[in-house]
Chain A
Amino acid sequence: QSVLTQPPSVSAAPGQKVTISCSGSSSNIGHDYVSWYQQLPGTAPKLLIYDNNKRPSGIPDRFSGSQSGTSATLGITGLQTGDEAVYYCGTWDNSLSSYVFGTGTQVTVL
């Protein structure tokens, strides 16, 4: 069981916006930076957001991240069919001395 909780799925029509929440505690999200990873079907995860809200080179600004207290949020605007994937949050957990991933959220473009 993951210590970071995400909704199992979210969906929206092309061009719309979705947000994915990641709920943790003071020992993880409340203590360290959050990253977000995108996993397209049959492929390895890909870094989407790091340090709560920074985008690696090549990641479009349609993707954004934020953090407040013990929760983090990933936003995707201008939804495209190519965004259909599972999205995971991740951060260091100071109590577990371990990196932890969220439960994962399937994004479906209707």
Chain B
Amino acid sequence: QVQLVQSGAEVKKPGASVKVSCTASGYTFTSYDINWVRQATGQGLEWMGWIYSNSGNTNYVQKFKGRVTMTRDTATSTAYMELNGLRSEDTAVYYCARSGDYHMDVWGKGTAVTVSS
């Protein structure tokens, strides 16, 4: 079945970096884009950006430009999201989600990232 499997929870210190992976299965990886969405505890959904799985081109929300890097490995059907300069406000669950025409139809279960000294 179509699914996105994300890496496990992370605990990081302020200023550190985190890299979350998202491995796709059940479909042709390069036919869909991968979005990254985060959600702080008790808060709403926040779109961070996406990577075009075919070309590797990216589109980041202005807020995260300079701090986030999205990459993909077509050989392993895996997308990655790396966030640098972590601060406490980055504590959240990070989701990857597949999209075709601007709607996200398959979501990973999420990766909890905690930033704490």
Interface residues of A (CB under 8 A from B): 2, 32-33, 35, 37, 39, 43-47, 50-51, 56, 88, 90-92, 96-104
Chain B interface extent, by class? 20 to 34
Does B102 contact A88, Cβ atoms closer than 8 Å? no
Which of B44, B101, B105, B110 is close to A44, meaning CB atoms less than 8 Å apart? B110
SS of B interface (majority): strand
18 new A-B contacts, CB < 8 A, other than A50-B101, A101-B37, A104-B44, are A2-B44, A32-B102, A33-B101, A33-B102, A35-B103, A45-B37, A45-B97, A45-B104, A45-B107, A46-B107, A50-B103, A51-B101, A51-B103, A91-B102, A92-B102, A101-B46, A101-B47, A102-B44
Could you write out 15 A-B pairs with CB less than 8 Å apart?
A32-B102, A33-B101, A35-B103, A37-B104, A39-B45, A45-B37, A45-B97, A50-B101, A51-B103, A90-B45, A90-B104, A98-B61, A101-B37, A101-B44, A101-B47
List B contacts of A101 (CB < 8 A).
Answer: 37, 44-47
Does B44 contact A56, Cβ atoms closer than 8 Å? no
List B contacts of A91 (CB < 8 A).
Answer: 102
Chain B nearest CB from A71 CB (Å) reads 18
